[in-house]
Amino acid sequence: MFVRNTDSQCLIIRRWANHQDYTEKFNAMKDFTFNRQEDTIDELWLLQHHAVLTQGQTGKPEHILIPSDIPVVQTDRGGQVTWHGPGQLVGYFLFDLNRLKWHVRDLVDFGENIMLWLLQHYQIDAYTKKDAPGVYVNNRKIGSLGFKIRRGRSYHGIGLNIDCDLSGFQTINPCGYAGLEMVRFSDLLDQAPSFTEITDLCIQFIQQQNIYQKIEVIDQ
């Protein structure tokens, strides 16, 4: 499913209009990363999931506070438990860090900076924390991130709350922090942007960084 090219400065952005099954995309990410070659083009996947709780590699079961009908999937990313679902932008970064000459900190900064830029576009004052990765507004978390690096290649990524139902977060300690309150664009604006609007802006941000010379967007 991967594309090869001698031009390492290419990026394919895949965007899904329909809600996607988490396990299916998790397995697809691993398959892409485990089988990619030196000349495989980097990809960024933009999508929304059906409601799911995902547990990090060292996640503690006690952070799931209230049993519910939301499925729980064990993953291999860093971090603790979080929620994904409709109304949340998920971005998966399938990047060759060695080729980009990035360290893990560069990848984390890139993910956080995308979310900060999107929020600033709507005049929302947001910030990051050194000891708690993610993006925050008035001590409430609006954006999360977690990655897995295998042989210098990354997968997993970010989750940014647009107009999602926050009740899923209320069944857990989000990212392992008891009492952490979540917030959405829809709580901060009269009208939340659409998924298409947010992803268009996300693509614009990446184009402005001049990391990749050529970017191809594929709507799935």
What does the DSSP assignment read for 121-169?
A: HTT---B--TTS-SEEETTEEEEEEEEEEETTEEEEEEEEESS--GGGG
Indicate whether 7 pLDDT > 80.
Answer: no
Q: Catalytic residue at 175?
A: yes
Q: How far apart are CA 219 and CA 138, in angstroms?
A: 35
Q: Which of 10, 164, 175, 202 is catalytic?
A: 175
Could you tell me which of 51, 87, 116, 115 has the C-alpha nearest to residue 187? 87
Question: What's the pLDDT at 1?
Answer: 43
Question: What's the pLDDT at 67?
Answer: 86
CA 163 to chain centre: 16
Binding residues for substrate: 77-84, 144-146, 157-159
Q: Which residue has the tokens 């971090």?
A: 79
Percent of the chain past pLDDT 90, that is, above it, reads: 85
In order of their start, the domains of the chain are 10-219 (3.30.930.10)
Percent of the chain past pLDDT 70, that is, above it, reads: 96
> Which pTM does this prediction carry?
0.94
Binding residues: 77-84, 144-146, 157-159
Residues 168-190, mean pLDDT to the nearest whole number: 92
- Give the orientation angle of helix 104-121 with respect to helix 195-209, to 10 degrees: 130
- Return mean pLDDT, the chain: 94
Question: What's the pLDDT at 61?
Answer: 87
Question: What's the pLDDT at 8?
Answer: 60
Question: What's the pLDDT at 174?
Answer: 86
Residue 142 exposed, middle or buried by CB count within 10 Å (0-12, 13-18, 19+): buried
